[in-house]
Chain A
Amino acid sequence: METRKPARERDTTDRRREGIESPVEGFNERGGRAARDEALRGALRLFATKVVPARNATLAALPEAPELRERAYRIKRETMANLDRYLEEMAEAVEARGGSVHFASDGEDVVRYVGELARRRGAKVIAKSKSMATEEIELNRRLEEGYADLGLEIVETDLGEWIAQLAGDTPSHIIGPILHMNAERVAEILSEVAGEELPPDATVLSRFARGRLREKFLTADIGITGANFGVAESGTVVTVTNEGNGRLVTSVPPVHVVVMGIEKMIPRFEDLSVFTRLLARSGTGQKLTVYTNFVTGPRGPGELDGAEEFHLVLLDNGRSNLLGTPFEEALYCIRCGSCLNVCPVYRQTGGHAYGSTYSGPIGAVITPLLKGDEEAKDLPHASSLCGACSETCPVGIPLHDLLLKLRNRQVEEGMAGKTQTAAFKVFENTMKSPALYNISGKLGRAAQRPLVREGTVRPVPGPLRGWTGSRELPPLAPKPFRELWRGGI
């Protein structure tokens, strides 16, 4: 404690490396370590036991939910089939409103665009609202390194993201970025910034953060956000936050840059009535996120606030490779985080074990697809194929079917021999422990009922036998797993 430096002397350079282009350490090692971390498991349990019942309750109170889910899936499918047209429509709409549009094929492209923009604006402070796409391309680190002469200060403004950034940590959950930290750890990190001892009290710590980050909102030269949705017909970018940082970052700084993955497109504004109703309920169990913010171009004539310059950067970074392939459905994801919360593997290992921006079942699917099979060969095996993820997904992505397809692709690519199935070991241990497995039994969702009875695991049918019985790569199921259990197994 006595060696603490005042915040301004500290090196705040962002060196975090978990983006899509950084190497993935084996899931085995990370997952094994994490699964032995009692505190982490406790935190994961707390998160899941709060969020999952809330999610179930709000969706249960929405009679049209199943219909909305089906519509969400169809809208996304239709969007992907005509993605070029919608991207073009969106770009034209943004330009018609006086915004600028840039098509970026990879992270480097985004870094260059934002870096040059910062140079032109003479920017010093950049305030960011949570964005998975910029995590994926490690925008902060690459801007600081590539544009070191600008001396940029890039600040994450989501409370959890900011704390993670200060700690040199990456977010471990889409919705709860620092659920792997307890209040003591947070107090330690923020005390260092404060230069005084702060108590491990969420309210005190949040107040401190509010004060510090408020300065950043007011002095930022550029605000950067991701997008939850991009509306083709109007050029509208939708961000949802509970803290309000998304709305602040788009309202106060003079420049707003949106970095949006091309899969975030939806055709019409009206489609939002489907997606907004599903997203908050699935993510946190709220009916609506506190701030559902729609930005269409720069500020209008006569407006005092809102950005005077609006930039939309549309990011591909490997996404288009999935179009028209059996993996296209992975692009339908709206990043609600629900599949993480119900996944028995994620609940043992947490997000960092996946070694990538995207964790949990969707991370196990999307990371190898964006990075390449060789780079993330463990991940398709970081699953029990219990089907809970597919079942909970609000847009109906058949996640565990996709995981099976990825495993199959590894076999076709001749990677089977190289694939250590020890990744399963993490999960296998929990399967052997009725007490632990009971946690997932408590999810109380139909998907797992056939497998779990009174906290014990029945002999596992179908594809699961392949890996619970041996360490070999599981054979592909003749029928998708979901069909098996639906048929009563």
Chain B
Amino acid sequence: MADRARFLENVRHRTRTGRYKPTRAPDSVWTPKGAPVPDPIADPVARFLEELGAVGGHGARVQSLDEARDHVVSLARERGAGALVRWDDEELAGFDAPLAGAGVEVAIWRDLEDFRAVAGLADVGLSTASWAIAETGSLVLESGPGRGRSVTLLPPTYVAVLRAERVLGTVAEAVGKYAGGRLPANVCFHTGPSRSGDIEMSLVTGMHGPGDVHVVVVG
């Protein structure tokens, strides 16, 4: 504690006694003139799907949760998935039987003996999302009981299902949801497939996280 007090006192002393006060703000003539002004977001869901596609993700819009379920089942089939791990979320509960019917073993994120083994071996991770951001094609994922971070990270294919009214316009709106700093242990703005350009700038997807990212918007 003494260390902390000394550390902070040193910082305080320097900020209080330092004579130099930067006063000049940067000039505001910054971006190129005549830049195209982006259209206001008229249809957030359409814009979200478009932006998600632009970053290499796959989006689909369906009318009902049943349709979303069918979408997920056929995707799991296409990928030849043997195991899927999903969030413990009521909306997704109805997905289990049809998935099992398609030969996919479903693990639910609760009371897992060893989450690393379960999520690490699953072919597909399935979750909902708190919000989506139209402007960037991002999902906003909150951690919590039943909402494992690893589900969205470890399996090579990741699918999120969310309702259309959860799609926000901008990053600023999404950040605004946590204004004042009330956050769960983890929040992530997840934007498309994991990627790397470290080797000669060639784009590789699925670097550490999923390379195959799908979002199904309901409504």
Residue ranges of A at the interface with B (Cβ–Cβ < 8 Å)? 43, 46-47, 50, 56, 59-63, 65-67, 69-70, 73-74, 77, 80-84, 87-88, 91, 93, 97, 101, 103, 105, 157-160, 163, 176-179, 182-183, 186, 202-203, 205-206, 209-210, 213-214, 217-218, 231, 233-236, 242-245, 247-248, 250-252, 262, 268-270, 272-273, 276-277, 284, 286-306, 314, 316, 320-321, 323-326, 328-329, 391, 393, 395-396, 398, 486
The 6 closest A-B pairs by CB, nearest first: A324-B18, A396-B26, A234-B181, A244-B209, A302-B145, A160-B198
User: A304 with B153: in contact, given A186-B199, A276-B175 (CB under 8 Å)?
Assistant: no
Residues on A with C-beta less than 8 A from B179 are: 268-270
Residue ranges of B at the interface with A (Cβ–Cβ < 8 Å)? 3-4, 7-12, 14-22, 24-32, 35-38, 51, 55, 109-110, 112, 115-116, 119-120, 133, 135-136, 138, 143-150, 153-154, 171-172, 175-176, 178-202, 204, 206-209
Q: Are B200 and A183 touching (Cβ within 8 A)?
A: yes
Q: Are B188 and A69 touching (Cβ within 8 A)?
A: no
Q: Which residue of chain B has the shortest Cβ distance to A215 in the bound complex?
A: B120
Whole-angstrom distance between the Cβ of B14 and the nearest chain A Cβ: 4
Whole-angstrom distance between the Cβ of B17 and the nearest chain A Cβ: 7
Q: List 30 A-B contacts (CB under 8 A).
A: A43-B200, A62-B38, A63-B35, A66-B30, A66-B31, A74-B25, A84-B12, A84-B15, A103-B4, A158-B198, A159-B198, A202-B202, A205-B199, A206-B199, A210-B206, A236-B183, A251-B150, A270-B179, A277-B171, A287-B191, A288-B191, A294-B178, A294-B186, A302-B145, A302-B146, A305-B115, A305-B119, A324-B16, A393-B26, A396-B26
Q: Which residue of chain B has the shortest Cβ distance to A231 in the bound complex?
A: B181
Q: Are A159 and B207 touching (Cβ within 8 A)?
A: yes
Residues on B with C-beta less than 8 A from A87 are: 8, 11
Residues on A with C-beta less than 8 A from B190 are: 290-291
Q: CA separation between A290 and B109, bound complex, in Å?
A: 24
Q: Which residue of chain A has the shortest Cβ distance to B1 in the bound complex?
A: A103
Q: Are B11 and A328 touching (Cβ within 8 A)?
A: no
Q: Which residue of chain B has the shortest Cβ distance to A209 in the bound complex?
A: B207
Q: Which residue of chain A has the shortest Cβ distance to B120 in the bound complex?
A: A218
Residues on B with C-beta less than 8 A from A176 are: 197-198, 201
Q: Which of A101, A287, A295 contacts B185 (CB 8 A)?
A: A295
Whole-angstrom distance between the Cβ of B180 and the nearest chain A Cβ: 7
Residues on B with C-beta less than 8 A from A395 are: 26
Of A88, A206, A276, A391, the most chain B CB neighbours within 10 A belong to A206
Residues on B with C-beta less than 8 A from A163 are: 198-199
Q: Are B14 and A321 touching (Cβ within 8 A)?
A: yes
Q: Are B32 and A273 touching (Cβ within 8 A)?
A: no
Q: Are B30 and A289 touching (Cβ within 8 A)?
A: no
Q: Which residue of chain B has the shortest Cβ distance to A206 in the bound complex?
A: B204
Residues on A with C-beta less than 8 A from B206 are: 210
Q: Which residue of chain B has the shortest Cβ distance to A178 in the bound complex?
A: B198
Whole-angstrom distance between the Cβ of B76 and the nearest chain A Cβ: 22
Whole-angstrom distance between the Cβ of A214 and the nearest chain B Cβ: 7
Whole-angstrom distance between the Cβ of B168 and the nearest chain A Cβ: 12
Residues on B with C-beta less than 8 A from A245 are: 207-208
Residues on A with C-beta less than 8 A from B138 are: 288, 292
Q: Are A61 and B15 touching (Cβ within 8 A)?
A: no
Whole-angstrom distance between the Cβ of A137 and the nearest chain B Cβ: 16
User: A306 with B36: in contact, given A66-B31, A273-B176, A324-B14 (CB under 8 Å)?
Assistant: no
Residues on A with C-beta less than 8 A from B201 are: 46-47, 50, 176, 179
User: A291 with B181: in contact, given A304-B115, A316-B7 (CB under 8 Å)?
Assistant: no
Q: Which residue of chain A has the shortest Cβ distance to B35 in the bound complex?
A: A60
User: A290 with B185: in contact, given A84-B12, A217-B208, A324-B14 (CB under 8 Å)?
Assistant: no
Of A80, A251, A289, the most chain B CB neighbours within 10 A belong to A251
Known: A74-B25, A268-B179, A272-B175. 8 other contacts (CB 8 A): A70-B28, A80-B15, A202-B199, A213-B208, A234-B181, A242-B195, A273-B172, A301-B145
Residues on A with C-beta less than 8 A from B38 are: 61-63
Q: Are A323 and B11 touching (Cβ within 8 A)?
A: yes
Whole-angstrom distance between the Cβ of B98 and the nearest chain A Cβ: 25
Whole-angstrom distance between the Cβ of B60 and the nearest chain A Cβ: 20
Residues on B with C-beta less than 8 A from A47 are: 201
